[in-house]
Protein backbone atom coordinates (compact mmCIF):
# COMPACT_ATOMS: atom_id res chain seq x y z
CA UNK A 1 0.00 0.00 0.00
CA UNK A 2 1.43 3.37 -1.05
CA UNK A 3 1.89 6.26 1.36
CA UNK A 4 -0.79 8.91 1.53
CA UNK A 5 -1.06 12.35 3.08
CA UNK A 6 -4.27 14.31 3.62
CA UNK A 7 -4.48 17.98 4.55
CA UNK A 8 -7.64 19.47 6.03
CA UNK A 9 -8.63 22.86 7.41
CA UNK A 10 -10.03 21.17 10.52
CA UNK A 11 -9.65 17.78 12.23
CA UNK A 12 -11.34 16.08 15.17
CA UNK A 13 -8.83 15.29 17.90
CA UNK A 14 -9.53 14.66 21.59
CA UNK A 15 -13.12 15.74 21.32
CA UNK A 16 -12.59 19.07 19.59
CA UNK A 17 -11.85 20.48 16.18
CA UNK A 18 -8.25 21.56 15.62
CA UNK A 19 -6.24 22.53 12.59
CA UNK A 20 -5.40 23.08 9.89
CA UNK A 21 -3.31 19.96 9.72
CA UNK A 22 -1.91 17.07 7.72
CA UNK A 23 -2.31 13.35 8.36
CA UNK A 24 0.37 11.05 6.90
CA UNK A 25 -0.54 7.40 6.33
CA UNK A 26 1.87 4.49 5.87
CA UNK A 27 0.94 0.83 5.69
CA UNK A 28 -2.69 1.56 6.49
CA UNK A 29 -1.93 3.37 9.73
CA UNK A 30 -1.45 6.96 10.73
CA UNK A 31 2.28 7.65 10.81
CA UNK A 32 2.23 11.38 11.54
CA UNK A 33 -0.22 14.13 12.50
CA UNK A 34 1.04 17.66 12.02
CA UNK A 35 -0.87 20.85 12.68
CA UNK A 36 0.48 23.23 10.09
CA UNK A 37 -0.41 25.43 7.15
CA UNK A 38 0.74 24.51 3.65
CA UNK A 39 -0.04 21.70 1.25
CA UNK A 40 3.31 21.20 -0.46
CA UNK A 41 3.83 17.52 -1.18
CA UNK A 42 0.39 16.55 0.17
CA UNK A 43 -1.46 13.80 -1.73
CA UNK A 44 -5.03 14.89 -0.96
CA UNK A 45 -5.94 18.51 -0.25
CA UNK A 46 -9.31 19.04 1.42
CA UNK A 47 -10.11 22.72 1.12
CA UNK A 48 -13.24 22.75 3.29
CA UNK A 49 -15.11 20.67 5.83
CA UNK A 50 -13.72 18.51 8.62
CA UNK A 51 -11.59 15.35 8.73
CA UNK A 52 -12.56 12.95 11.52
CA UNK A 53 -11.93 9.35 12.50
CA UNK A 54 -14.35 6.87 10.97
CA UNK A 55 -17.50 6.34 12.98
CA UNK A 56 -18.36 3.12 14.80
CA UNK A 57 -21.88 1.87 15.41
CA UNK A 58 -21.74 -0.39 18.44
CA UNK A 59 -25.43 -1.28 18.33
CA UNK A 60 -26.75 -2.06 14.88
CA UNK A 61 -29.11 -4.96 14.26
CA UNK A 62 -28.94 -4.67 10.49
CA UNK A 63 -29.41 -2.21 7.64
CA UNK A 64 -30.23 -2.10 3.93
CA UNK A 65 -32.67 -5.02 4.24
CA UNK A 66 -30.31 -7.36 6.10
CA UNK A 67 -30.87 -8.73 9.61
CA UNK A 68 -27.53 -9.71 11.14
CA UNK A 69 -29.17 -12.70 12.80
CA UNK A 70 -29.55 -14.45 9.45
CA UNK A 71 -27.77 -12.31 6.84
CA UNK A 72 -26.45 -14.06 3.74
CA UNK A 73 -22.91 -13.47 2.45
CA UNK A 74 -24.36 -11.17 -0.21
CA UNK A 75 -26.25 -9.17 2.42
CA UNK A 76 -23.15 -8.85 4.59
CA UNK A 77 -21.24 -7.44 1.63
CA UNK A 78 -24.04 -5.00 0.84
CA UNK A 79 -24.34 -3.75 4.42
CA UNK A 80 -20.61 -3.37 5.04
CA UNK A 81 -20.20 -1.44 1.80
CA UNK A 82 -23.29 0.69 2.42
CA UNK A 83 -22.18 1.63 5.92
CA UNK A 84 -18.67 2.51 4.75
CA UNK A 85 -20.10 4.86 2.14
CA UNK A 86 -21.94 6.66 4.95
CA UNK A 87 -18.80 7.09 7.07
CA UNK A 88 -19.29 4.08 9.37
CA UNK A 89 -15.95 2.27 9.39
CA UNK A 90 -16.49 0.01 12.41
CA UNK A 91 -19.49 -2.09 13.42
CA UNK A 92 -20.78 -4.30 16.19
CA UNK A 93 -23.47 -6.30 14.42
CA UNK A 94 -26.13 -6.85 17.06
CA UNK A 95 -28.10 -10.05 17.46
CA UNK A 96 -31.18 -9.91 19.65
CA UNK A 97 -32.92 -12.40 21.92
CA UNK A 98 -33.43 -15.87 20.45
CA UNK A 99 -33.23 -19.45 21.73
CA UNK A 100 -29.61 -20.29 22.56
CA UNK A 101 -29.60 -23.10 20.01
CA UNK A 102 -30.40 -20.58 17.26
CA UNK A 103 -27.53 -18.25 18.14
CA UNK A 104 -24.66 -20.51 17.04
CA UNK A 105 -25.43 -20.22 13.30
CA UNK A 106 -25.71 -16.44 13.62
CA UNK A 107 -22.29 -16.25 15.24
CA UNK A 108 -20.87 -18.61 12.63
CA UNK A 109 -22.10 -16.33 9.84
CA UNK A 110 -20.81 -13.18 11.55
CA UNK A 111 -17.38 -14.71 12.11
CA UNK A 112 -17.24 -15.90 8.49
CA UNK A 113 -18.10 -12.39 7.28
CA UNK A 114 -15.44 -10.90 9.56
CA UNK A 115 -12.79 -13.18 8.05
CA UNK A 116 -14.08 -12.84 4.50
CA UNK A 117 -13.98 -9.03 4.47
CA UNK A 118 -10.83 -8.49 6.54
CA UNK A 119 -8.52 -6.08 4.77
CA UNK A 120 -11.16 -4.82 2.34
CA UNK A 121 -12.14 -1.13 2.19
CA UNK A 122 -15.51 -1.84 3.81
CA UNK A 123 -16.85 -1.33 7.31
CA UNK A 124 -14.85 -3.41 9.81
CA UNK A 125 -16.70 -6.02 11.90
CA UNK A 126 -15.30 -5.27 15.35
CA UNK A 127 -17.19 -8.09 17.05
CA UNK A 128 -20.77 -9.12 17.79
CA UNK A 129 -23.07 -7.47 20.32
CA UNK A 130 -25.48 -10.02 21.82
CA UNK A 131 -28.53 -8.16 23.16
CA UNK A 132 -30.25 -10.80 25.27
CA UNK A 133 -31.47 -13.39 26.03
CA UNK A 134 -30.42 -12.69 29.64
CA UNK A 135 -32.73 -9.70 29.96
CA UNK A 136 -35.93 -8.76 31.78
CA UNK A 137 -39.40 -9.70 30.56
CA UNK A 138 -40.62 -6.56 32.33
CA UNK A 139 -38.47 -4.40 30.03
CA UNK A 140 -38.58 -6.59 26.94
CA UNK A 141 -39.18 -3.89 24.34
CA UNK A 142 -39.41 -5.63 20.96
CA UNK A 143 -37.74 -8.83 22.22
CA UNK A 144 -39.55 -12.15 22.60
CA UNK A 145 -40.20 -12.77 26.30
CA UNK A 146 -40.58 -16.53 25.80
CA UNK A 147 -36.91 -16.75 24.80
CA UNK A 148 -35.51 -14.96 27.86
CA UNK A 149 -33.70 -16.86 30.60
CA UNK A 150 -31.33 -16.51 33.53
CA UNK A 151 -27.58 -16.42 32.76
CA UNK A 152 -26.87 -19.66 34.59
CA UNK A 153 -23.48 -21.41 34.34
CA UNK A 154 -25.12 -23.99 32.07
CA UNK A 155 -26.53 -21.27 29.79
CA UNK A 156 -23.12 -19.60 29.53
CA UNK A 157 -21.50 -22.97 28.88
CA UNK A 158 -23.87 -23.43 25.95
CA UNK A 159 -23.34 -19.89 24.66
CA UNK A 160 -19.56 -20.03 24.85
CA UNK A 161 -19.29 -23.62 23.66
CA UNK A 162 -19.32 -22.53 20.02
CA UNK A 163 -15.87 -21.67 18.62
CA UNK A 164 -17.14 -18.82 16.43
CA UNK A 165 -18.92 -17.30 19.41
CA UNK A 166 -15.76 -17.31 21.49
CA UNK A 167 -13.84 -15.65 18.64
CA UNK A 168 -16.31 -12.94 17.71
CA UNK A 169 -18.48 -12.15 20.76
CA UNK A 170 -17.54 -8.66 21.99
CA UNK A 171 -20.48 -7.32 24.04
CA UNK A 172 -23.35 -8.89 25.97
CA UNK A 173 -26.37 -6.89 27.13
CA UNK A 174 -28.00 -8.36 30.23
CA UNK A 175 -30.25 -7.43 33.15
CA UNK A 176 -28.22 -7.54 36.37
CA UNK A 177 -31.28 -8.32 38.51
CA UNK A 178 -31.67 -11.78 36.96
CA UNK A 179 -30.60 -14.78 39.05
CA UNK A 180 -26.91 -15.53 38.54
CA UNK A 181 -26.24 -12.28 36.70
CA UNK A 182 -23.36 -11.03 38.84
CA UNK A 183 -21.49 -14.32 38.54
CA UNK A 184 -22.17 -14.27 34.80
CA UNK A 185 -20.81 -10.73 34.48
CA UNK A 186 -17.56 -11.74 36.16
CA UNK A 187 -17.23 -14.78 33.89
CA UNK A 188 -17.94 -12.83 30.71
CA UNK A 189 -15.51 -10.07 31.66
CA UNK A 190 -12.85 -12.70 32.35
CA UNK A 191 -13.36 -13.81 28.73
CA UNK A 192 -12.66 -10.26 27.54
CA UNK A 193 -16.32 -9.52 26.81
CA UNK A 194 -17.84 -6.11 27.50
CA UNK A 195 -20.95 -6.39 29.68
CA UNK A 196 -23.68 -3.81 29.15
CA UNK A 197 -26.67 -3.20 31.41
CA UNK A 198 -29.87 -3.07 29.38
CA UNK A 199 -33.46 -4.24 29.00
CA UNK A 200 -33.42 -4.16 32.76
CA UNK A 201 -35.75 -3.36 35.66
CA UNK A 202 -32.79 -3.10 38.02
CA UNK A 203 -32.64 -0.60 40.84
CA UNK A 204 -29.68 1.74 41.04
CA UNK A 205 -28.13 -0.46 43.73
CA UNK A 206 -28.36 -3.48 41.43
CA UNK A 207 -26.78 -1.50 38.59
CA UNK A 208 -23.90 -0.45 40.82
CA UNK A 209 -23.46 -4.07 41.93
CA UNK A 210 -23.11 -4.95 38.24
CA UNK A 211 -20.35 -2.35 37.93
CA UNK A 212 -18.62 -3.89 40.94
CA UNK A 213 -18.73 -7.22 39.07
CA UNK A 214 -17.20 -5.64 35.94
CA UNK A 215 -20.03 -4.18 33.81
CA UNK A 216 -18.87 -1.04 32.00
CA UNK A 217 -21.56 -0.22 29.44
CA UNK A 218 -25.22 0.74 29.17
CA UNK A 219 -27.48 -0.27 26.29
CA UNK A 220 -29.68 2.53 24.85
CA UNK A 221 -30.20 4.65 27.95
CA UNK A 222 -33.83 5.40 28.88
CA UNK A 223 -35.15 2.74 26.49
CA UNK A 224 -36.41 -0.57 27.91
CA UNK A 225 -35.15 0.05 31.44
CA UNK A 226 -36.41 1.13 34.86
CA UNK A 227 -36.88 4.89 34.46
CA UNK A 228 -35.12 7.71 36.25
CA UNK A 229 -36.68 8.90 39.50
CA UNK A 230 -35.66 11.47 42.04
CA UNK A 231 -35.75 8.92 44.89
CA UNK A 232 -34.90 5.78 42.89
CA UNK A 233 -32.41 6.72 40.14
CA UNK A 234 -33.24 3.61 38.15
CA UNK A 235 -30.89 2.53 35.38
CA UNK A 236 -30.45 5.97 33.73
CA UNK A 237 -29.64 7.77 36.95
CA UNK A 238 -27.33 5.01 38.14
CA UNK A 239 -25.19 4.98 35.01
CA UNK A 240 -25.06 8.75 34.57
CA UNK A 241 -23.90 9.11 38.17
CA UNK A 242 -21.28 6.34 37.99
CA UNK A 243 -18.10 7.14 36.02
CA UNK A 244 -17.43 3.42 35.52
CA UNK A 245 -20.14 3.30 32.84
CA UNK A 246 -20.05 4.28 29.19
CA UNK A 247 -23.56 5.17 28.10
CA UNK A 248 -24.97 3.91 24.83
CA UNK A 249 -27.42 6.53 23.53
CA UNK A 250 -29.60 6.29 20.43
CA UNK A 251 -29.15 9.46 18.39
CA UNK A 252 -32.13 9.28 16.05
CA UNK A 253 -33.96 12.00 17.99
CA UNK A 254 -36.98 9.75 18.53
CA UNK A 255 -35.91 7.00 20.90
CA UNK A 256 -34.64 9.80 23.14
CA UNK A 257 -35.76 13.40 22.71
CA UNK A 258 -32.83 15.65 21.71
CA UNK A 259 -33.33 17.71 24.88
CA UNK A 260 -32.79 14.56 26.96
CA UNK A 261 -29.81 13.58 24.81
CA UNK A 262 -28.28 16.94 25.71
CA UNK A 263 -28.85 16.18 29.40
CA UNK A 264 -27.10 12.81 29.05
CA UNK A 265 -24.08 14.40 27.33
CA UNK A 266 -23.93 17.11 30.01
CA UNK A 267 -24.21 14.60 32.86
CA UNK A 268 -21.59 12.20 31.50
CA UNK A 269 -19.05 14.12 29.40
CA UNK A 270 -16.64 11.80 27.60
CA UNK A 271 -18.74 8.72 28.41
CA UNK A 272 -21.60 8.89 25.90
CA UNK A 273 -21.40 6.43 22.99
CA UNK A 274 -23.69 7.47 20.14
CA UNK A 275 -25.42 4.56 18.38
CA UNK A 276 -28.36 4.00 16.03
CA UNK A 277 -29.95 0.73 17.18
CA UNK A 278 -30.59 0.41 13.45
CA UNK A 279 -32.63 -2.48 12.11
CA UNK A 280 -33.24 -4.03 8.69
CA UNK A 281 -35.22 -0.98 7.56
CA UNK A 282 -32.27 1.43 7.89
CA UNK A 283 -31.21 2.92 4.60
CA UNK A 284 -34.44 1.85 2.84
CA UNK A 285 -37.60 3.82 1.94
CA UNK A 286 -40.15 4.19 4.74
CA UNK A 287 -43.07 1.74 4.92
CA UNK A 288 -41.05 -1.13 3.41
CA UNK A 289 -42.43 -4.28 5.15
CA UNK A 290 -39.73 -6.64 6.43
CA UNK A 291 -39.08 -9.18 9.19
CA UNK A 292 -36.87 -8.55 12.22
CA UNK A 293 -36.36 -10.85 15.20
CA UNK A 294 -39.00 -13.22 13.88
CA UNK A 295 -41.72 -10.55 13.70
CA UNK A 296 -42.90 -8.03 11.08
CA UNK A 297 -41.45 -4.51 11.15
CA UNK A 298 -41.58 -1.40 9.01
CA UNK A 299 -40.39 2.20 9.18
CA UNK A 300 -43.04 4.78 9.98
CA UNK A 301 -43.13 8.15 8.22
CA UNK A 302 -40.39 9.43 10.56
CA UNK A 303 -37.98 6.61 9.78
CA UNK A 304 -38.64 4.78 13.05
CA UNK A 305 -38.92 0.99 12.95
CA UNK A 306 -42.15 -0.29 14.52
CA UNK A 307 -43.91 -3.61 15.07
CA UNK A 308 -47.47 -4.07 13.84
CA UNK A 309 -48.80 -3.04 17.26
CA UNK A 310 -46.77 0.19 17.22
CA UNK A 311 -43.97 -1.02 19.51
CA UNK A 312 -40.66 0.62 18.64
CA UNK A 313 -38.34 -2.04 17.20
CA UNK A 314 -35.29 0.10 16.38
CA UNK A 315 -34.07 2.99 14.30
CA UNK A 316 -34.45 3.14 10.55
CA UNK A 317 -31.47 5.44 9.93
CA UNK A 318 -27.71 5.20 9.39
CA UNK A 319 -25.28 6.86 11.81
CA UNK A 320 -24.41 9.83 9.59
CA UNK A 321 -28.09 10.81 9.59
CA UNK A 322 -28.05 10.59 13.39
CA UNK A 323 -25.17 13.08 13.44
CA UNK A 324 -27.09 15.48 11.23
CA UNK A 325 -30.20 15.20 13.41
CA UNK A 326 -28.29 15.99 16.59
CA UNK A 327 -26.46 18.91 15.00
CA UNK A 328 -29.80 20.24 13.73
CA UNK A 329 -31.07 20.00 17.32
CA UNK A 330 -28.31 22.37 18.42
CA UNK A 331 -25.66 19.95 19.66
CA UNK A 332 -21.95 20.60 19.17
CA UNK A 333 -20.81 18.63 16.08
CA UNK A 334 -17.42 17.78 17.59
CA UNK A 335 -19.05 16.30 20.70
CA UNK A 336 -21.56 14.28 18.69
CA UNK A 337 -18.99 12.84 16.28
CA UNK A 338 -16.56 12.14 19.13
CA UNK A 339 -19.26 10.01 20.77
CA UNK A 340 -19.27 7.77 17.69
CA UNK A 341 -15.48 7.66 17.29
CA UNK A 342 -13.11 8.41 20.15
CA UNK A 343 -15.53 7.59 22.98
CA UNK A 344 -16.82 4.49 21.22
CA UNK A 345 -13.24 3.24 20.88
CA UNK A 346 -12.50 3.88 24.55
CA UNK A 347 -15.62 1.96 25.58
CA UNK A 348 -14.11 -1.10 23.88
CA UNK A 349 -10.66 -0.51 25.33
CA UNK A 350 -9.31 0.20 21.83
CA UNK A 351 -6.63 2.78 21.06
CA UNK A 352 -5.96 1.69 17.47
CA UNK A 353 -9.30 2.85 16.06
CA UNK A 354 -11.50 5.90 16.46
CA UNK A 355 -8.67 8.41 16.76
CA UNK A 356 -6.58 10.64 14.53
CA UNK A 357 -3.38 9.70 16.29
CA UNK A 358 -0.05 8.12 15.44
CA UNK A 359 -0.39 4.34 15.30
CA UNK A 360 -4.14 4.28 14.77
CA UNK A 361 -5.67 2.57 11.76
CA UNK A 362 -6.24 5.13 9.00
CA UNK A 363 -10.04 4.98 9.06
CA UNK A 364 -11.04 8.55 8.19
CA UNK A 365 -14.05 10.55 7.02
CA UNK A 366 -14.18 13.92 5.31
CA UNK A 367 -17.43 15.75 6.12
CA UNK A 368 -18.78 18.74 4.22
CA UNK A 369 -20.33 21.82 5.83
CA UNK A 370 -23.76 20.13 5.93
CA UNK A 371 -22.33 17.07 7.73
CA UNK A 372 -22.50 14.71 4.79
CA UNK A 373 -19.59 12.25 4.41
CA UNK A 374 -17.87 13.11 1.12
CA UNK A 375 -14.80 10.88 1.18
CA UNK A 376 -13.98 7.87 3.35
CA UNK A 377 -10.75 5.94 3.85
CA UNK A 378 -10.47 2.56 5.60
CA UNK A 379 -6.95 1.44 6.38
CA UNK A 380 -5.80 4.21 4.07
CA UNK A 381 -7.77 2.79 1.11
CA UNK A 382 -10.46 5.08 -0.24
CA UNK A 383 -14.05 3.89 -0.35
CA UNK A 384 -15.88 4.59 -3.61
CA UNK A 385 -18.82 6.90 -2.85
CA UNK A 386 -21.38 7.10 -5.66
CA UNK A 387 -22.73 10.51 -4.67
CA UNK A 388 -23.82 12.73 -1.75
CA UNK A 389 -25.26 10.83 1.24
CA UNK A 390 -29.00 11.22 1.60
Which sequence positions are flagged as catalytic?
A: 277
Question: CA 99, CA 1: separation in Å to the nearest integer?
Answer: 44
- C-beta separation of 175 from 133 below 8 A: no
* Spatial separation of the C-alpha atoms in residues 180 and 31, rounded to whole Å: 46
**Where do the H-state alpha helices sit in 65-127?**
73-85, 100-116
Q: At what angle do helices 234-241 and 258-267 cross, to 10 degrees?
A: 40
Task: Give the side-chain half-sphere CA count within 13 A for 44.
Answer: 20
User: CA-CA distance, 233 to 241, in Å (whole number)?
Assistant: 9
Cβ-based neighbour number of residue 260 at 10 Å:
15
29 alpha carbon, distance to own chain's centre: 22
Report the C-alpha gap between 268 and 2 in whole angstroms.
41
Q: Are 89 and 365 in contact (CB under 8 A)?
A: yes
Task: Residue count of the chain, please give it.
Answer: 390
H or E segment at 26?
strand 21-26
Amino acid sequence: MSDLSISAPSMLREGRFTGPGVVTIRGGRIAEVAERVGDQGVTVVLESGVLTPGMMDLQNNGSFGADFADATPEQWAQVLTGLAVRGVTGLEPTIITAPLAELDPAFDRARAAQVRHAGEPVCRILGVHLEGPFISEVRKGAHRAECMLDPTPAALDQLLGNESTREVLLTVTLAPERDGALEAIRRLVDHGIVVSVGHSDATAEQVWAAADAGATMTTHIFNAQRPFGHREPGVPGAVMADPRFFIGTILDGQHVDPAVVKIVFAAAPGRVVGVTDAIVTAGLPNHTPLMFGGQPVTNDSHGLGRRDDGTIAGAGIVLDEAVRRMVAAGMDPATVIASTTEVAARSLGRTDIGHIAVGSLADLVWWDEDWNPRRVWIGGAEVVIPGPAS
